[in-house]
Amino acid sequence: MNSTLKSTLQKQVSLKPFNTFQIDATAEYLAEISHPDDLTSIMASSPFNRHPHYVLGGGSNVLFVDDFPGLIIKNNIPGITVVAENTQYVIIRVGAGVVWDELVKHTLNHGWGGLENLSMIPGLTGAAPIQNIGAYGVELEKLFVSLDAIHLKTGKTESFDRSMCKFGYRDSIFKSSLKGKYLITYVTLKLGKKPAINVEYGNLKKVLKSEGIKNPTIRDVSRAVRRIRKSKLPDPLITGNAGSFFKNPVLSGTTYEILKMKHPQMPGYFLDSSGPHSFESGNTTSEQPVAESDGRGRVKVPAAWLIEQCGFKGMREGDTGVHEKHALILVNHGAATGTQLLKLARTIQEEVLDHFEISLEPEVHIVSNL
Ligand code: FAD
Ligand code: EPU
């Protein structure tokens, strides 16, 4: 092991400060990298080669169920660089270790539009493509140009453009066939200098109207998004959580129709022909609740509603629980373990399946030795 690595490699590290669920699991080894070259010595080391390894960003979408018996590689690669620009747009290359919301603020300060609806999402830029982060009518893929990533077997850097990433709703190729195979080092985004404002999602327009804002700027949109988020999402610094624990299920129109006969109050949002991203795309029609589906299109059902109907909203058992303002958010009230939270998640899945015949798929990455 070379001396640089020796100095950055820590042993028996508590992961509590490294995950927003605040789970007190222990990692056998932890190494932080601040430059892609740092990975060379890590990949040559015995902790990397003799043990499992896991790339971590801000830890805001992971649940550590057990102690981690290997090497956690914490990504801190910095930097926001303009690589091209003209009067219409700017292309920026962002280090994977840049805190996502710091990037959003940086773009707002420069008057570059595109990320304002994605304000206040926790975590780092390098993780944003993994699940194609989305909120308030925008998904990352809309701004995405490419990413650089190091293959964790060959050590080679490869570039992925948008089509190679196979983005979907809370999905990308890095969650399926390439899961765990790469460490993302840089993300390149294209932002507008004459931003198109998008306030069609949910109550964004209503909040802006209540503030008397008719022609919102990107800063207004960001402020409104922050206000909505603060009103319903728990602050992970106070209450451990990882945002939505499950993805919203997407059903065929026919399945939705059948279920709606049994459960007339079940909300649903019609996905138009523009594909699986449309419910996060800000298309007004795709966000309208459907009174009737045409039986052909797909329908997104809010997982929060299903969970609330099963009686979990606001429940607490020991230090595990479901947030009182949002049923899709599992919380750690203090000393919950990953195993306890996973047990609660499984109970919720079973109850929702029993009541509604719908399987909930976790959005959160469950890191377990099993
Ligand atoms: P981590 O949790 O550290 O990692 C997530 C996954 O990505 C892991 O599998 C990890 O191995 C992998 N990974 C991380 N970095 C890299 C890298 N550089 N290279 C390769 N793999 C990597 N998400 C949304 O989409 N929309 C929301 O509105 C939203 N709201 C949230 C609100 C709260 C309060 C919280 C706690 C979470 C929310 N999330 C939301 C989820 C989360 O913030 C995002 O998924 C975020 O992108 C995760 O970033 P992270 O750096 O914390 O990733
Ligand atoms: N609802 C309930 N009970 C609740 C909360 C919500 O029934 O306790 C119902 C309401 O009908 C509401 C609907 O659920 O209209 C949708 O709720 P919300 O607008 O809060 O959005 P969501 O579908 O729960 C999604 C993302 C969030 C993202 C918001 C805003 C997923 C899994 N979650 O939540 O992302 O911030 O939309 O765009 O798609 C995350 O991924 O971690 C995350 C927080």
d(CA 319, CA 343): 12
CA of 128 to the centre of ligand 1 (A): 6
H-type helices in the chain, by residue range? 3-8, 38-43, 46-50, 100-109, 162-165, 204-210, 218-232, 253-262, 284-287, 303-309, 338-356
Q: Is the pTM of this model over 0.85?
A: yes
Give the pair of three-digit tokens for residue 9.
């490699």
Query: What three-state secondary structure class fits 59?
Result: coil
Q: Are 139 and 130 in contact (CB under 8 A)?
A: no
Ligand 2 touching residue 310 (CB < 6 A) = no
Give the pair of three-digit tokens for residue 357.
């015949």
Give the single-character DSSP code of 278.
G
Q: Which residues contact 208 (CB under 8 A, 6 or more apart)?
A: 199, 216, 220, 221, 224
Does the annotation mark 219 as catalytic? Answer: no
**Amino acid type, 86:** N
Across the beta sheet with 269-271, what order do the strands follow?
A: 250-252, 298-300, 269-271
Q: Look at residue 273 in the predicted model and tell me its pLDDT.
A: 46
Q: Are 155 and 200 in contact (CB under 8 A)?
A: no
Does the annotation mark 170 as catalytic? Answer: yes
Pocket test for ligand 1, best of 19, 53, 60 (most atoms within 8 A of CB): 60
Residue 155 half-sphere exposure toward CB, CA atoms < 13 A: 11
Ligand 2 touching residue 363 (CB < 6 A) = yes
Q: Look at residue 270 in the predicted model and tell me its pLDDT.
A: 84
d(CA 359, CA 253): 16
Atom 20, ligand 2: residue with shortest CA distance: 326
Atom 24, ligand 2: residue with shortest CA distance: 304
Q: Look at residue 24 in the predicted model and tell me its pLDDT.
A: 97
Q: Which residues contact 139 (CB under 8 A, 6 or more apart)?
A: 132, 133, 167, 169, 277, 280, 281
d(CA 317, CA 321): 6
Q: Look at residue 3 in the predicted model and tell me its pLDDT.
A: 55
| DSSP run (H or E) holding 317 | strand 316-317
Phi, psi of 299 (to 5 degrees): -130, 130
Marked catalytic residue, from 119, 146, 244, 293: 244
Ligand 1 touching residue 39 (CB < 6 A) = no
Query: What three-state secondary structure class fits 208?
Result: helix
| CA of 244, nearest ligand number | 2
Give the pair of three-digit tokens for residue 193.
């200098």
Atom of ligand 2 nearest to the CA of 229: 36
Give the pair of three-digit tokens for residue 231.
């009103």
**Amino acid type, 160:** F
Does the annotation mark 293 as catalytic? Answer: no
For 153-200, the three-class secondary structure string (H helix, E strand, C coil) is CCCCEEEEEHHHHCCECCECHHHCCCCCCEEEEEEEEEEECCCCCCCC
d(CA 210, CA 273): 33
CA of 45 to the centre of ligand 1 (A): 27
Ligand 1 touching residue 150 (CB < 6 A) = no
Q: What share of the chain is helix, strand, coil (3-state, %, to 5)?
A: 30, 25, 45
CB burial string 207-243: b at 16+ within 10 A, e below: bbeeeebeebebebbbbbbebbbeeebbebeebbbbb
Q: Mean pLDDT by 10-residue block, N- to C-terminus, for the chain (370 residues)?
A: 68 98 98 96 95 98 97 97 98 98 98 98 98 96 98 98 97 98 98 93 91 95 97 96 97 94 94 44 37 66 98 98 98 98 98 98 94
Q: Are 222 and 100 in contact (CB under 8 A)?
A: no
In this structure, the strands spanning 320-322 and 316-317 are antiparallel
Q: Are 65 and 339 in contact (CB under 8 A)?
A: yes
CA distances from 108 to 1, 46, 112 (A): 43, 43, 6
Ligand 2 touching residue 305 (CB < 6 A) = yes
